Structure 1
Amino acid sequence: MGDSLRYIASNQVRFHQELHLRPRRINHYRFLFVESGCGEFQISGEEFAVQSSWLGLLSPGLRENRYSKRKPVSYLFVEFQSSERLTDQRAVEFREQEPQRSALIGLLKTIHVQRGDPDGCLLAAAVRLMFPEAEITDSPPLDERLQIIKRLIEAAPDQNYRISELAEAAGLSEPHLRRLFRTQLGMSPKQFLRRARMEFAQRLMQHEGLRVGEAAHLLGFASVFQFSAQYRQVMGHPPSDDRGTG
């Protein structure tokens, strides 16, 4: 999580029916390659259309998608987070006359086939293809004391540690711990812990078949409502998007 670029998800999607994805808050970037079909996007109030061979980058924001039933749709996407703002535009198109276009498509397909890009190297290369002037630098090595905390949380993500417990495990005062998190990770210890726990809950629902209520209980939440509110705040969408409500 200390990398400037962090892989979120990727997939190949095909369907033959009209589809309307209602507005939802998206907190990450999306590379999108439309192989066939057509559709309309609205990101934070700005509308634009995509059609066969459209290739580009969608920025975070309140996103709404509509796809037409007139043409079967097939597209490839790769989603990721960036510690730096990549563009002020809602959508950046990579036009067919761009000489690096085929290389970018190849990178996106490689990321999808490999089911990820843990070091962010392929994502950094993809961003450089779209924005040659961008400086995507690797973050400095994670402080050893933060590595201790990271391993502690990853070993028991169902535990809701107090910040004082994390500080004690790392041999730091709480103020020093907070400064270190802000400097190296750009977030507070509480934000880091919440994201780790919500990502753990997401994996349980997506891959282990847990219902929302079961995930909430496992993570020690007093109610499904409380869990759902925190999940939406951290992940940008309700837990029911990742699994049917329990």
Structure 2
Amino acid sequence: MTRQLTPDDGQPLTLALHSPPTFWRCEPSWYWQSRPLPDHLLWCVLDGRGQLQMDGRERELGPGICAVFGPGDEPLARHDPKRRLLVFGMHFEVAADVLPEPRWGEVADRVLLGELARGADTAYRRGSPAGRRQAELYLEQLLHLVWEAATRPSRGRIDVELEEIAQAMRQDPGRQWTVAELAARAALSRAQFTRRFTKQFGASPAQYVIQARVDRAHQLLNETSMSVTQVAAALGYTDVPYFSRQYKQRTGRTPRDARS
């Protein structure tokens, strides 16, 4: 089994799409008992719940679960008709072994997964050689995501939820986050959430968001003409001296010193 998404000579993958990228919301009565596949197939679940079987192994399906099938594979899948699967697929040919082991994995960054899938679809439907090539580049990025997901240690639902929550905190540090709100998003009690979050990230939720604010403040001070007062206000601080103390505690410099 190769562990590179490039041939042994180190050259880039040579991918060729066999059909347009496809999204489909499986019908309520849908049931997939595949004939032996004639080519490779990237198969990603974007929504819904179900089960996938292949080679005597079974995997629960949900958002972020992706599989790579090869010629001759005969996957078997079904779903909950009340939570119908939304699947993205790409049939392709490749001159290197890109099949991960196991054949499936859970992509944690579902936003990126969806963006790459939509990008591939949009590029291909331009109907030009350049658009087709761009779609193949999107496919290569998707294969890297699936390979990484399939070969890293498996993680539970809570771990994935906590990563998504931490990402949201980093992306919007000026928001007034509360432990109660964050715990509800993870379907945990406040005590459970704080314990699991601190164990996973090495900082309590409160300390984590402070660091995210300081990181963003450093960026704003260095990349914009906003004043220290404006930066503090943008990041949710009503007390500028308090903001300056937190900034200095974590960087060793005051905001004014950092700007100069």
Provide the TM-score with structure 2 as the length reference. Answer: 0.40
Structure with the higher strand share, 1 or 2: 1
When Rg is computed on C-alpha atoms for both structures, the one with the higher figure is 2
Structure with the higher helix share, 1 or 2: 2
